[in-house]
Amino acid sequence: MHEDNAFKDPGQDYRLFVWRVVAAVLVVMLLSSALAWRYYQLQVVRHHEFATRSDRNRIQLLPVPPTRGLVFDRNGELLAYNRSSFNLMVVREQTRGLEQTLSYLRNIVELSDIDIERFQRQLERRQRPYEAVPLKFNLSEEEQAAIAINEYHLPGVQVVAEPVRHYPYGEMFSHVIGYVGRINDREQAEIDQRAYSGTHVIGKTGVERSYEDDLLGEVGYEAVETNSRGRVMRVLERTDPSPGQNIHLYIDARLQEVAWKALEGWRAGLVAIEIETGGVLAMVSRPGFDPNPFVTGISQSGYQALLDDPDRPLFDRNLFGQYPPGSTIKPIVALAGLERGTMGRNYRVFDPGFYQLPNSSHKYRDWRRTGHGWVDMHKAIVESCDTYFYDIGVRMGIDYMHQFMTPFGLGERTGIDIPGERRGIMPSRDWKTGARGQPWYPGDTVNTSIGQGYMLTTPLQLAVSTARIASKGVILTPRVVQPSDGVPNEPEGRIEARSEHWEWVLAAMEDVAHGERGTARSIGRDAAYRIGAKTGTAQVVGIAQGEKYDASRLAERHRDHALFVGYAPADNPRIAIGLVVENGEGGGSTAAPMARIVMDAFMELYPELDGGELAGEVIKVAGP
Amino acid sequence: MRQQDFQHRLRELGSGLYGRTSTWRRFHIDLPLFLLLVMLAGAGLVVLHSASGGSAYYVQRQLAYWGIGMTIMVVVAQVSPRFLARWALLPYLVGVLLLMGVLVFGVGAKGAQRWLEVGGFRFQPSEILKLAVPLLLASYLGRCALPPRVKHIVVALALVGMPTVLVAMQPDLGTALLIAVAGVFVLLLSGLQKRYLFGAAAAAAVAGPLMWAYGMRDYQKQRVITLFDPYSDRLGAGWNIIQSTTAIGSGGVSGKGWMQGTQSQLDFLPESHTDFIIAVLAEEFGLMGVLALLGLYLLVVIRGLWIAVQAQTMFSRLLAGSLTLTFFIYVFVNMGMVSGVLPVVGVPLPLMSYGGTSIVTLMLGFGILMSIATEKKRGV
């Protein structure tokens, strides 16, 4: 057809033009084919690759954190739960300048330098852009309203409801339940990142820490479609998280409260154990602290104040406090002596007020300077005669004492389900060689037989050993949390001793509270039930030979610690108590009355029914 | 053979329509071209609606631009080609002067001075040259005997070279090349001898590396590097190409559906309503949509070249041919750059991308084409 035109037009230049147009058409077709080929390559040949990339672009898996399990006491009383906290969050990319936004916020919300500092730190640690970072927790209603009103001036600022752990009892359970807090760098390195994606807190101390795996729950996921700025446009699919397990303690919150009040004003630790199960009925360490500020991050000044407090509120005396058990250990020493055959029931020692090792002039004094006169085992326990125990201790020897007393939970960790307990010291020749690099001297045995010298125990160990005496040797690991399957703890063994030996020792302990000359007779006199007990006093400072202990001359912090162990009711022991009152001076005068208050409350809350059936047997109530 | 079929059918269609509707000719409207433009306008608005996330704002403004563009086209169509040939120097001189003005008084944007502001109205003088250069060259070469002699070639190259260099200095290499291309097409169509063609190709082969070493700005080099390896700069320059090829590729054969393209709707695709609008079309309408659009463009090109072949004077032939081929080059460069085979040079997709300047300039060119197409009748 070009030829047609060419023939019509005689000009050679026109023919040339037409040929050039034909060439141009060919080039256009060639280039178009190249384009079509390119798009075919992208859209057909490599379609799968790009479709995948497009999906990866838009679909993100967002973790949905599980709700943390609740903590109940044995009767279903709520001790730790999650409540909504309204937090102030900032998305830096959406603000009109961070500085400007922060200074604007300062005018309507109270922001401390700590808040800002923590915010900046978290902003740096943020993993992806457009992630909201908390600036302030727990906004009051006024603050929420103020932010809502000024919303227009505050792009990138949002108020988000987030579940926050709350401990309604505050200080009272501070050391037992512990608290959760923001995951720190060290924890971040150790945890399973997947399980904690979306979760900001982790159990730091107490039950919150030891039962972290149960409480945490299983993280869920949401596949969301996001735009290029990471903003969620819609949810495509969702796997619900499964909430953490609820936990039931053996502790009775009412009993805990009674104990808490009984110890008020003292630095003290009390542990009450249910003898049948090994469950902890009450566990109080005074002074306590409010765990709630730790959840959202305690201020530096608040934390410093707790650290600087000379009463050391953060220190859990029941697990970490190691005290010389003093005379509270005597019933076990006596039992050891009986078992060893060191003495019989009627073996007597004359106490002039001191004891001397053979061929030594050194005088080991009795707490009563005038002495107890002729003393047998029963009287030695009831009146807490030191000289008697010096005598049988030395004759028995440290090796047997160590071997026999260790199973009572002395010098080893009890295995309680709260982290960090100290093991205390039940001294032995090996221990002294290893720890001190010195040989064992006979004088060490003298001191050990009245629970002084190297021997150290925690209040928890006192309670555990008392439970084991009261149950005539049943070894149960103490537990704060009830087993989730409802199967009671099995005894791990039994301390073997002749039945009459148990009876003699227990009878003596009963007379400590009820005997005419018992050191704890003040608490037994008007009790409606029978109590088995032993008091103790632990020296804080050594007293030189020939010097007299004079409380009035000693600084308050140098006064003796008051100790008490006991169980009730004596004829069918159900509760065992270990108690240390720092600088409380008298085991019988200071510590025993406190323990009695707890025992009274227990007997009232769990009265004994006919046939030995317990009224207040562990009741599990599903939580709200 | 395919293009002959197209031409044949178009001619039949064209003559059939003219036979019945002479009114169109009376108003100097080339009906086939007009219908193709309307179809492109419709397709463009549909895709723009999706590309702008369903915003009525862009669609309404683009409609307004189309109104202005169509009006200009109709007005220009009334002007006779002889008149254009006579006054061809004027827009060229005005354009070149304004370009010099831009370099002195221009308004900067993104490190380049391209805009001139007059009474609050901003425009790019380089747009004028896209039409003025082929107009002047066609006028100049149309008067000479073809093929042009060396003297004419030198003058023509000088006329092309001056504005090209001025625009390149702004710097706007993409537009400079397109202006040069428009001029060079006139030269090629005028029957430039083969030896010059091969000579130019050889010169380009030598000049290319030299340009790279001395003549290119860093951002231009970056574009070239990114072209060959977009993943070298994932979040910077490479981002656009990665996202646009992902959009195109994920569209597959039939696309994800109108308004359903995840790349475009979720803002992964940059410039989705302007330079990268073809990626939206490719994602939502698939390869079928792309080929349909390419087909429409080719019909426009065929019709334009047919008008050139049918034109009465050599001036008209050269101008119509050059305008048409330049139009195709815009299409090729844009579709090539979005699909990652050409550098990102900031060329909008003709008649599809959002923007008034582009539409007005293009419609002005189509007005000239229509004027040429209907010249025969006036001559008779």
Taking the alpha carbons at both ends of chain B, their separation in whole angstroms is 33
Contact: A24, B321; criterion CB under 8 Å:
yes
Does B190 lie at the interface with A, CB-CB under 8 angstroms? yes
pLDDT, position A194: 78
- What is the tens place of the pLDDT at every residue in A375-392? 999 999 999 999 999 999
- What is the tens place of the pLDDT at every residue in B193-242? 777 778 888 888 888 788 777 777 777 777 667 666 666 655 555 778 88
State how far Cα A491 lies from the chain centre: 24
Looking at chain A, the whole-number percentage of residues with pLDDT higher than 70 is: 92
Distance of residue B204 Cα from the nearest chain A Cα, in angstroms: 19
Report which of residues B264 and A357 the model is more confident about.
Answer: A357
- What is the tens place of the pLDDT at every residue in B239-252? 788 889 999 999 99
Write the DSSP assignment of B174-219 as a string of letters: HHHHHHHHHHHHHHHHTT--HHHHHHHHHHHHHHHHHIIIII--HH
- What is the tens place of the pLDDT at every residue in A284-316? 999 999 999 898 778 788 889 999 999 999 999
Question: Which candidate in A38, A43, A60, A130 is best for mutational testing of the B interface (most B CBs within 10 A)?
Answer: A43
Rounded distance between C-alpha atoms, residue A61 and residue A225, angstroms: 9
Does A53 lie at the interface with B, CB-CB under 8 angstroms? yes
Distance of residue A48 Cα from the nearest chain B Cα, in angstroms: 7
Model confidence at A615: pLDDT above 60? no
pLDDT, position A1: 38
Question: Which candidate in B250, B263, B332 is best for mutational testing of the A interface (most A CBs within 10 A)?
Answer: B250
Nearest by Cα to B373 from B300, B293, B312: B312
Report which of residues B336 and B238 the model is more confident about.
Answer: B336
- What is the tens place of the pLDDT at every residue in B130-173? 999 999 999 998 887 667 888 888 999 999 999 999 888 877 77
ipTM: 0.88
Contact: B332, A226; criterion CB under 8 Å:
no
Contact: A39, B282; criterion CB under 8 Å:
yes
Distance of residue A36 Cα from the nearest chain B Cα, in angstroms: 7
Nearest by Cα to A527 from A558, A486, A489, A569: A569
pLDDT, position B111: 52
Spatial neighbors of A602 by CB under 8 A, at least 6 apart, are A255, A272, A281, A568, A574, A575
Q: Is A327 a catalytic residue?
A: yes
pLDDT, position A439: 93
Does A45 lie at the interface with B, CB-CB under 8 angstroms? no
pLDDT, position B6: 55
pLDDT, position A30: 95
**Inter-residue contact A204 to A297 (CB < 8 Å):** no
Distance of residue B144 Cα from the nearest chain A Cα, in angstroms: 10
Catalytic residue among A85, A327, A384, A471: A327
Does B245 lie at the interface with A, CB-CB under 8 angstroms? yes
pLDDT, position B108: 58
Model confidence at A271: pLDDT above 60? yes
Predicted structure pTM score: 0.65
Contact: A28, B309; criterion CB under 8 Å:
no
Q: Between residues 20 and 59 of chain B, which touch chain A (CB distance below 8 Å)?
A: none
Of B3, B189, B335, the CB nearest to A35: B335
Q: Give the chain B residue nearest A3 (alpha carbons).
A: B309
Write the DSSP assignment of A521-569 as a string of letters: HHHHTT-SS--EEEEEEE-SS---TT----GGGS-GGGSPEEEEEEEE-
Of A25, A36, A40, the CB nearest to B3: A25
pLDDT, position A101: 87
Distance of residue A224 Cα from the nearest chain B Cα, in angstroms: 12
Contact: A17, B317; criterion CB under 8 Å:
yes
Of B246, B267, B308, the CB nearest to A53: B246
Element (H, E) at B66: helix B56-78
Distance of residue B97 Cα from the nearest chain A Cα, in angstroms: 32
Does A374 lie at the interface with B, CB-CB under 8 angstroms? no
Question: Which candidate in B246, B264, B288, B332 is best for mutational testing of the A interface (most A CBs within 10 A)?
Answer: B246
Of B248, B262, B263, the CB nearest to A42: B248
Does B249 lie at the interface with A, CB-CB under 8 angstroms? yes
Based on the number of CB atoms within 10 Å of its own CB, is B163 exposed (0-12), middle (13-18) or buried (19 or more)? buried
Q: Give the chain B residue nearest A41 (alpha carbons).
A: B249
State how far Cα B327 lies from the chain centre: 4
Sheet with A575-581, side-by-side order of all strands: A280-286, A268-274, A575-581, A561-568, A532-538
Rounded distance between C-alpha atoms, residue A268 and residue A98, angstroms: 49
Average pLDDT value for chain A: 87
CA distances from A382 to A346, A386, A391, A519, B154 (A): 15, 11, 17, 6, 128
Residue with tokens 């390869």: B287
Rounded distance between C-alpha atoms, residue B169 and residue B252, angstroms: 41
* Residues in B touching A60 (Cβ below 8 Å): none
Does A1 lie at the interface with B, CB-CB under 8 angstroms? yes
How many pairs of residues across A and B have Cβ atoms under 8 Å apart? 139
Contact: B147, A13; criterion CB under 8 Å:
yes
Across A98-102, A378-382, A540-544, A609-613, the highest mean pLDDT is recorded for A378-382
Contact: A24, B188; criterion CB under 8 Å:
yes
Model confidence at B122: pLDDT above 80? no
Contact: A57, B305; criterion CB under 8 Å:
no
